[in-house]
Amino acid sequence: MQSLTNRGDEPLKSRARSKRFFVWFACLFAPSLSYAQQPAAFKVKAPDLVERPAAEWFNSQPLKLADLRGQVVILHFWTFGCINCKHNDAAYKAWQTKYSDKGVTMIAVHTPEFAREHDLKRLKKSIADRGLKFPVVVDQDGKIWKSWENHWWPSIYLIDKQGFARYRWDGELNWKGAKGQAMMEKKIAQLLAEETPAPATAKR
């Protein structure tokens, strides 16, 4: 099975040193990796979200990926102190407006790095100030991050109607002429056009 973190033959995790290294590196240098970048393509069963209490969900009741079969899911990792994550907000809000009534659910996984980013009041204020209306789940202990083998802030995953993670984009979508937003929109449209799975039937 191909790792969620593989890009071609080189796994991103082979370059990882620590989560602290990656938030520093991603927020300063990783956007340059997006220049002339293409979405990473693979097919692997998407890990479901680690259960969190309702108080650790914003803009939504707790969600499970298993309950979203038949929909396309846009799942992205971010932290509110990362400027590169903030630069992707416009794309996220555009997708929420364009696709929310077309069978697409967006979920933001907030995995903090620094102490102030663990403060739920600050997170709530950031969500409101930035005008983010899609569901946000708080990943204080990084368990969702680890289950996805994620290494970058920001990273975006597209999950198909069958529950398979199919595409990933790391870094800013439109950094220095990159066409990440447009390319990922094409992938979203592709996944929407795929056949909707038949409902599971109870075994007799």
Q: Are 1 and 44 in contact (CB under 8 A)?
A: yes
Residue 199 lies in a domain: no
Residues of the domain holding 175 = 6-193
| CATH at residue 162 | 3.40.30.10
Neighbouring C-alpha atoms within 13 Å toward the C-beta of 73: 26
> What's the chain's Rg over C-alpha atoms?
16
Residue 138 lies in a domain: yes
Task: Give the C-alpha separation, 57 to 167, whole Å.
Answer: 25
Residue 116 lies in a domain: yes
Sequence-separated (6 or more) residues with CB below 8 Å from residue 18: none
Q: Are 78 and 85 in contact (CB under 8 A)?
A: yes
Q: Are 77 and 155 in contact (CB under 8 A)?
A: yes
Sequence-separated (6 or more) residues with CB below 8 Å from residue 84: 26, 27, 30, 31, 153, 154, 171, 172, 175
Q: How much is the pLDDT for 37?
A: 82
Sheet holding 57-58, edge to edge: 40-45, 164-170, 155-159, 72-78, 104-110, 136-138, 57-58
Q: How much is the pLDDT for 177?
A: 86
The residue to which tokens 């403060």 are assigned: 119
Task: Give the C-alpha separation, 32 to 172, whole Å.
Answer: 9
Residue 85 lies in a domain: yes
| Dihedral class, residue 177 (left if φ above 0, else alpha if ψ from -120 to 50, else beta) | left
Residue 121 lies in a domain: yes
Task: Give the C-alpha separation, 125 to 71, whole Å.
Answer: 29
Q: How much is the pLDDT for 200?
A: 62
Q: How much is the pLDDT for 97?
A: 97
Residue 11 lies in a domain: yes
Residue 180 lies in a domain: yes
Residue 80 lies in a domain: yes
Q: How much is the pLDDT for 143?
A: 98
In order along its 204 residues, the chain shows pLDDT tens digits of 344 554 333 333 322 323 444 443 444 444 444 445 899 999 999 999 999 999 999 999 999 999 999 999 999 999 999 999 999 999 999 999 999 999 999 999 999 999 999 999 999 999 999 999 999 999 999 999 999 999 999 999 999 999 999 999 999 999 888 899 999 999 999 999 999 887 765 454
Token readout for 8 is: 């071609």
pTM (predicted TM-score): 0.83
- The domain tally of the chain equals 1
Sequence-separated (6 or more) residues with CB below 8 Å from residue 113: 19, 20, 23, 79, 81, 82, 153
